Amino acid sequence: MDVVTAQEMYEWDQVAMESTGLDGKLLMENAGRAVSSELEKKLDKHQRVMMLIGAGNNGGDGFVIARTLLNRGYSVEAWQVVPDSKVKGDARHHKEIFMKTGYTLYKLEENDDLRESFESAEVIIDAMLGIGVKGHLRGPIKQVVELANEQKAFRIAVDLPTGVPADEGIVEFDAFKADYTYIIAALKVSALVEHTRLYYGEWKVCDIGLPVRKLPSPNRKVWQREDSKRILPKRDANSHKGSHGKALIVGGAAHMPGSIAMSAKAALRSGAGLVTVATPKSAVPTIATYVQEATFLPLAEEEGVIKGPVDFDVSAYDGVAVGMGMGRGRESNNLVNHLVSSVKSPLLIDADALYQLKNILGLLRSRTYPTILTPHPGEFAHLVDQPISAIVQSPFSYSREFSKKYGVYTVLKGPATIITAPNGSQFVDLTGNAGLAKGGSGDVLSGILLAMMLQSGSTTHALNSGCMLHGLTAEMLIEDDHSMVDLLATDLIEGLTQTFRTFSS
């Protein structure tokens, strides 16, 4: 499922029309019909529906939807909330069809006209503005949106909730608060960004018949369950532990043994053949009790944190992860430096190692094997010297720019996790829930990602599938035995069993 900006959507529209001869009026009819068919699954014929219609093409969709629903026997009051003179182009064409079909169009002269209808409406459908919104809402739409947001009715938006920008990075806006949004043709970036996504409510993308083969790729896609299903590792009957990869996990401290222990266990549960944990000597017994299947590389330490020579041999491993529970002392700086320079296999850098990495970002370009960074927005903000708010508001552009600049894979974690390859192509994983917002979930994710990389020929596929397994496990656990409040990172590790059993079958 592609994710587009407003400009990319307009380009698609243009390409569709030029390459196939499909015209805007037909696309609008298709859009309105597609949304109407979805609405039929949601509405009852006796429900009172109010349709709010604007002047641009979003309003044009509104005319088609109102006509289609009225034709099919629904109880719809269609309101044009802008002056007649503003309705132009394809929207005007569909307004004329609506009028000629013989239906009543209510016009907004004063906001008071709307109040009574609003009060009796059970459903409000917003087809006022879509991707063409510019700046803050102006009257009369501004007042209509304010009024609509006060109503008890179920609120549905067409394409975008009016006022919400289609792109990331715009924070000053006022908008219709939808309970559900029927998105036209392609998911818009703002549906996935924290400060705008809540305005959409739940959503569904409606196909309008654009010629998919002709459309330029925005290089931004939602990773789907079927994609992971197709590429999850299969175990050959003749395989042995070496066939599934030898992993090295570096980090931990005597006062923080849990993080690295969970990463190691998650890697084993996700199919890694052998896992070695490199950690301060005094942390080994605690970690070993929890992960009996791992072997250990005890590191020199001082007061429980890594200190002393860190230039151990890493040539025997098929993948390395570093940073979980390691602390941020000076020695860990040397350690990260050593690994970045000498690991000749995929290297995943997480947590405390990301802080050390900041001083040696320039070295990343010289790596010839994949480097994977798994920051949450706070860690990423530190790496790129920006406030966290800037990252959260524009996660797609910051992570794309960073991955291309340093030649790395970036897994920017959050409710929508964005996975960017060194060439800038992006996938979004939408699985998971707020039960994951708890210390340790990221450590589990690192272990899963490392194991998936050992078992896959494609780093991108391994990362996407790993994020999805992590999120689906949280979803499954919430459905079955847990709540979002009590869910623990260790539950996720145990839950992987069920996810692999059901998901890979």
Specify binding-site residues for AMP.
413-417, 442
Q: Report the Cα–Cα distance between both ends of the chain, in Å, rounded.
A: 23
Q: Are 7 and 188 in contact (CB under 8 A)?
A: no
- The bridge status of strand 305-306 relative to strand 105-107 is unpaired
Q: Does 468 bind ligand ADP (CB under 6 A)?
A: no
Q: Which stretch binds ligand ADP (CB under 6 A): 236-244, 265-273, 330-338, 407-415?
A: 407-415
**Residue 301 in tokens:** 């330490």
Task: Identify the H or E element spanning 451.
Answer: helix 441-454
> Token pair 């703002």 is at which residue?
190
Q: Which is closer to K ion, CB of 59 or CB of 414?
A: 59
Cα(115)–Cα(146) distance, rounded to whole angstroms?
12
**Residue 286 in tokens:** 């605690």
Q: Are 442 and 350 in contact (CB under 8 A)?
A: yes
Using DSSP, state whether 92 is helix, strand or coil.
helix
Q: Are 445 and 413 in contact (CB under 8 A)?
A: yes
Q: Does 244 bind ligand ADP (CB under 6 A)?
A: no
Cα(60)–Cα(212) distance, rounded to whole angstroms?
23
Q: Does 198 bind ligand ADP (CB under 6 A)?
A: no
> Token pair 């079955």 is at which residue?
480
Q: Does 133 bind ligand NPW (CB under 6 A)?
A: yes
Interacting partner of 417 out of ligand NPW, K ion, ligand ADP, none (Cβ under 5 to 8 A depending on kind): ligand ADP
Interacting partner of 126 out of ligand ADP, K ion, ligand NPW, none (Cβ under 5 to 8 A depending on kind): K ion
The CB-of-413 to ligand ADP minimum distance in angstroms stands at 4
Q: Does 442 bind ligand ADP (CB under 6 A)?
A: yes
Q: Does 350 bind K ion (CB under 5 A)?
A: no
Q: Which is closer to ligand ADP, CB of 69 or CB of 322?
A: 322
The CB-of-70 to ligand ADP minimum distance in angstroms stands at 40
Near ligand NPW by CB under 6 A: residue from 159, 168, 318, 352: 159
Interacting partner of 157 out of ligand ADP, ligand NPW, K ion, none (Cβ under 5 to 8 A depending on kind): K ion
**Alpha-carbon distances of 46 from 37, 121, 272, 346, rounded to whole Å:** 17, 11, 57, 59
Near ligand ADP by CB under 6 A: residue from 198, 298, 437, 481: 437
**Alpha-carbon distances of 89 from 21, 25, 57, 171, 209, rounded to whole Å:** 17, 9, 8, 30, 21
Q: Does 126 bind K ion (CB under 5 A)?
A: yes
Near ligand NPW by CB under 6 A: residue from 46, 134, 213, 240: 134
Interacting partner of 415 out of ligand NPW, K ion, ligand ADP, none (Cβ under 5 to 8 A depending on kind): ligand ADP
Near ligand ADP by CB under 6 A: residue from 149, 433, 458, 490: 433
**Residue 469 in tokens:** 């397994």
Q: Which is closer to K ion, CB of 57 or CB of 410?
A: 57
Cα(291)–Cα(406) distance, rounded to whole angstroms?
34
Q: Does 138 bind ligand NPW (CB under 6 A)?
A: yes
Residues lying near ligand ADP in the complex (CB under 6 A): 351, 376, 413-415, 417, 432-434, 436-437, 439-443, 445, 470
